[in-house]
Structure 1
Amino acid sequence: MSIVIMVGQLILGLSILIILHELGHFLAARAFGIKVEKFYLFFDAWNVSLFKFTHKGVEYGIGWLPLGGYVKIAGMIDESMDTEQMAGPPQPWEFRSKPAWQRLIVMLGGVTVNIILGILIFWVLTMRFGDSYIPNSAAKYGIVPGEVGKKIGLQIGDKVVAINGKPFERFDDLTSPQVLLDNTVFTILRGTQTLQISIPRTILNDLNDDIEGFISRLPRSKFVVDSLEPKSNAVKAGLKKGDSIVMANNHPIVFWDELQAQLSVNKGKQVELGIRRNHELVTLKAQVTPEGKLGFYRAKTDFPDIKIIKYGFFEALPIGAQRAWGTFRDNAKGIGKIFRGDVNPGKAVRGPVAIASLFGGTVDWVHFWTLVGFLSMVLALMNLLPIPALDGGHAVFLIIEMIKGKPLSDKFLERAQIVGFVILVTLMVFVFGNDIVKLVMKK
């Protein structure tokens, strides 16, 4: 059932984005009196559609090939490669008959709608839920680095007091895209020492989509046993709510990460636990699962309060817009790092399979719309890439036409469209293959 929910959310999210993107082209074309012949969600390859109807001269439908969507604009060399139409004399209602500036607006209509949608979603989410974070100043026990963080010199309990020489407010800034994508230097307080630790430009290659491998999203904390999973090894061992685990195989336990470390090295084995219960010390034996768990949830003690900021209707707009543009900017930086060779494309690129896993197997509408807003900005960025067959490629050719004062030849545009199509198919094969390889490797 979870797979059905995951796939359903993926299809719903992508359908919203594709329909609104194509609607941007559609409305811009109609505004300039350009005839639109088709409006399709997904591709009706070889003229095979799952559903279609005609209204006011436009064929609306759903194709069988779920790799995007399109609007077929009269007099334009596009995905349809309808060269017969282009062979006739230009008609006043055709794309090619309009001034270059109008055609440029039509080509950028989809990207514009995606950007507006992204800003709108983040605006509404900010207005509804505000902004919550853990103040860095309240993380009094420091950080818990993962294996990648330890390799670059971070240690458990380090306190990061500055990023690139500047104090920062939010603990989650430590794992932000700005840290991972820029040439970042942490100022570390370790006991009485102050250290500078640089974050490698290539760190994303080592993380494998797991930010916890760098630094845990939560500060170091103490804990007590909270609820227990029914029939779990924790229940069988006799753990109870309110217990404090102070020893594991004769290793003192104070913090949650210390218990996790002991469970990790004893996967599938039995551990002896020292428990403080009602001011008494109790010894229990528990079986660790192959995943390194006992089967209980923790209650964090002595943990910093989460700071919540609420915004009004107008206050939330610039915050939402900043989040949307931050997504756009960070992904642009990521693409730049791929081209510079700092990041392996196989590590950074996500396809439909990976995106579906991001939606998850349960319905969480806040998470759903957050992800749709994120993907809307990513879709806008990807369509702006100067690749023939994408909006950005068409826009580049139109800008060249405006500079030259005359259009590029139809033959050139046809060949460029073919080249762009080959590039896109190659990218799709790579993305799908990369998703499948990652899925198999996880198993």
Structure 2
Amino acid sequence: MHPYLIVAINFLLSLSLLIVLHELGHFIPARLFKTRVEKFFLFFDIKYSLFKKKIGETEYGIGWLPLGGYVKISGMIDESMDKEQMAQEPKPWEFRSKPAWQRLIIMLGGVFVNVVVGFFIYIMLVYVNGTTIATGSDYKYGFGMPQVMEEVGFEQGDQILLVDGDTLSIADNLVNRLVFRNVEKVTVIRNGAVVDVDIPEDMGNRIFNAGVMGSLEPRFPFKIGEVQEGTIADSIGLKAGMFITEIAGHKISYNSDYTYAMNHIVNDSTPFEIKYQNESGMQQSKMIDFKNTKRRVLGLIKEPTTDYVSVTPVTYSFSESVSKGLSHGYWTMHDYIGQFKYIFTKKGASQLGGFGTIAKLYPDTWDWTKFWERTAWISFVLAIMNILPIPALDGGHVAFLLYEIVTGRKPGEKFLERAQLIGIFILLALMLYANGNDLYKAIMENFF
């Protein structure tokens, strides 16, 4: 099966599952409070549907537009904008006839289910698969550091020991910790000595603006493991088994030195020299120019020459898995919410992605562990995005209901209708922008 097809199936399967569960979160409390649900749809059925069947008072179906799903609750101003129904006298089974606290529970149900599903998946993943631990001292050669981290006191080869006095169980997650949490001090092992690095308050912004989000790169002495056909590396005669010794005057001893040179030393508009040892051990050099290439890559795969990390598997009892899974889920949501401070910047807005960006998170081979990890993460994302106080989202309805509960005054139906239209417009604009970003990136990567 083609890798793209596997990604698409993974994405649609995960999305479908989460949409159905989210809508059940609205459906179940609505029925418990004797509120009529007219439709329950996976995907949107604009003009027509792929499948539909009426059972009792509710029509169940699958739409053709896979941008979400919905339940249509009688007497509720939602995306259906059913003004004819709203113009009639309220009926006892309608949403608008129910007490505000019941309506609030109905509206929070979808978000609640998404949060519970995310935590449940993480708990089960920990219970079934356990976790792995690789602290800083487990990385024999330490880590390669991007330039922005060198500027605050880190050095190449530092082994991450402590973050604000706590051990980091997965040491290469340090960047994520610096970006999304308030870190004051990182303790490292450097040449056998313990060294403290003070972290400035704006470290997260520095890393984000430098574009080096992601995991730290573990260091290892490397040789060329593979050269991709038709690339610059292939054209200058590099072959598997050779050793690169220098790029643009920057000495290459470890894989991270190569990464550092390509990211910080090489200039797109200036030819540079690469030195290497051929199969017989002789030193050779070639000049390279990136001016007419799409990306700043040579086209080779770095291969470790020795074991460089010791990973310890850890198993948990079910009760331990609950605690571990809840903790992992909490910090996953915490860090996702932390991204919002970067989204509202010029750089952050340009990186906002749509369905294509989300789909790329899924593996292109069948891997159920990764599938469930991505599903749990997206379940939290759906919960957080849906609770935003934007009309047309659950959070918009919740905001108006809280206003009603606090003030005792219900917003007028005309106001709610206008707010719903504004919310739909905002959501469509955001969706077009995010997916437009995906399209623009794909075009630039493949044609320029």
Bin of the TM-score, shorter chain as denominator length: 0.7 to 0.9
Structure 2 residue runs without a partner (length 5+): none
Give the one of 211, 214, 227 matched to 2:213. 211
1:200 aligns with 2:199: no
CA distance in 2, matches of 1:163, 1:439: 37
| Kept after mapping to 2: 8 A contact 1:248/1:274 | no
Counterpart secondary structure, 1:67: strand
| Kept after mapping to 2: 8 A contact 1:43/1:63 | yes
CA distance in 1, matches of 2:328, 2:105: 25
CA-CA distance at 1:255 after TM superposition? 2.4
| Kept after mapping to 2: 8 A contact 1:51/1:63 | yes
Q: Which amino acid is the alignment partner of residue 10 of structure 2?
A: Q
Match of 1:5 in 2: 6
CA-CA distance at 1:157 after TM superposition? 2.4
CA distance in 2, matches of 1:9, 1:39: 23
Counterpart secondary structure, 1:301: coil
Match of 2:412 in 1: 409
Return 349-358 or 295-304, whichever deviates more.
Answer: 295-304
CA distance in 1, matches of 2:267, 2:385: 45
Match of 1:303 in 2: 308
Match of 1:67 in 2: 67
- TM-score (normalizing by structure 2): 0.82
1:85 to 1:306, Cα distance in 2 relative to 1, 3 A:
same
CA distance in 1, matches of 2:117, 2:395: 19
Q: Which amino acid is the alignment partner of residue 393 of structure 1?
A: G
Match of 1:18 in 2: 19
Counterpart secondary structure, 1:401: helix
Match of 1:221 in 2: 220
5 Å-filtered alignment, 1:270-309, equals 273-274=276-277, 282-283=281-282, 292=297, 298-309=303-314
CA distance in 2, matches of 1:360, 1:131: 19
CA distance in 1, matches of 2:443, 2:209: 18
Q: Which amino acid is the alignment partner of residue 429 of structure 2?
A: T
CA distance in 1, matches of 2:72, 2:144: 53
Match of 1:385 in 2: 388
Instruction: Give deviations 1:301-358, integer Å, cap 9, x for gaps.
Output: 252311221112221112112212222111222224445x5x7442453210111122
1:261 to 1:286, Cα distance in 2 relative to 1, 3 A:
farther
1:385 to 1:239, Cα distance in 2 relative to 1, 3 A:
closer
1:100 aligns with 2:90: no
Instruction: Give deviations 1:50-70, integer Å, cap 9, x for gaps.
Output: 222211121112222222111
5 Å-filtered alignment, 1:8-407, equals 8-45=9-46, 47-150=47-150, 154-164=154-164, 168-176=168-176, 178-187=177-186, 195-198=197-200, 200-203=203-206, 205-206=208-209, 208=211, 211=213, 217-223=216-222, 245=243, 247=245, 254-258=253-257, 273-274=276-277, 282-283=281-282, 292=297, 298-339=303-344, 341=345, 344-407=347-410
CA distance in 2, matches of 1:186, 1:221: 26
Counterpart secondary structure, 1:202: helix
CA distance in 2, matches of 1:167, 1:126: 19
Counterpart secondary structure, 1:90: coil
| Kept after mapping to 2: 8 A contact 1:160/1:186 | no
Return 122-131 or 432-441, whichever deviates more.
Answer: 432-441
Percent identical pairs in the alignment equals: 37
- Give the aligned length: 429
Q: Which amino acid is the alignment partner of residue 98 of structure 1?
A: K
CA distance in 1, matches of 2:22, 2:399: 19
1:231 to 1:382, Cα distance in 2 relative to 1, 3 A:
closer
Return 422-431 or 71-80, whichever deviates more.
Answer: 422-431
Q: Which amino acid is the alignment partner of residue 110 of structure 1?
A: G
Q: Which amino acid is the alignment partner of residue 395 of structure 1?
A: V
| Kept after mapping to 1: 8 A contact 2:226/2:239 | no
Instruction: Give deviations 1:7-52, integer Å, cap 9, x for gaps.
Output: 222222211111111111111111111110001112222x322222
Return 296-305 or 89-98, whichever deviates more.
Answer: 296-305
Instruction: Give deviations 1:207-258, integer Å, cap 9, x for gaps.
Output: 55x635xxx5342223467789899989x97977xx6848569987542334
CA-CA distance at 1:269 after TM superposition? 10
1:417 to 1:77, Cα distance in 2 relative to 1, 3 A:
same
Instruction: Give deviations 1:150-178, integer Å, cap 9, x for gaps.
Output: 566644224444434656443123122x3
1:421 aligns with 2:420: no
CA-CA distance at 1:404 after TM superposition? 2.2
CA-CA distance at 1:107 after TM superposition? 0.4
| Kept after mapping to 1: 8 A contact 2:135/2:167 | no
| Kept after mapping to 2: 8 A contact 1:222/1:302 | no
CA distance in 2, matches of 1:166, 1:328: 20
1:350 to 1:144, Cα distance in 2 relative to 1, 3 A:
same
1:151 to 1:347, Cα distance in 2 relative to 1, 3 A:
farther
Return 9-18 or 186-195, whichever deviates more.
Answer: 186-195
- TM-score (normalizing by structure 1): 0.83
